[in-house]
Amino acid sequence: MRIYINGEARKIDVNSSVFSVCQSADISKTKTEERIGLSSMLGMLGLKNKNFIIELNGKLVLQKNIQSIFVYENDKIELMQFIGGG
């Protein structure tokens, strides 16, 4: 399954939890009926317990709803984190 995270195409093998950057040859070989839980996807990225803002297809996702949201083929996810400085 192909999704976009912060503008970068990624390929997820939802059956084996493999997450990788899409190569141009890979992009047309994905299935459209696959899905993965947003929480599971964040876990695969090592971001499950981090504080950040999630935008899914242009809509903000509330932290309390992460467990009930699924990500589908060609979804666009933006992950934003605040960084302090001085």
Report yes or no on 40 lying in a domain: yes
Domain that holds residue 61: 2-80
DSSP-derived letter for residue 53 is E
| Contacts of residue 63, Cβ cutoff 8 Å, sequence gap at least 6 | none
Q: Domain holding 21: CATH number?
A: 3.10.20.30
Pairing of strands 2-5, 76-80: parallel
Report yes or no on 70 lying in a domain: yes
- Overall pTM surpassing 0.85 (yes/no): no
Which residue has better confidence, 20 or 53?
53
Q: How many domains does the chain have?
A: 1
The first and second tokens of residue 66, run together, are 């992460």
Q: What is the pLDDT of residues 58-85, one digit of tens each?
A: 999 998 898 899 999 999 999 998 777 7
Mean pLDDT (the chain) is 79
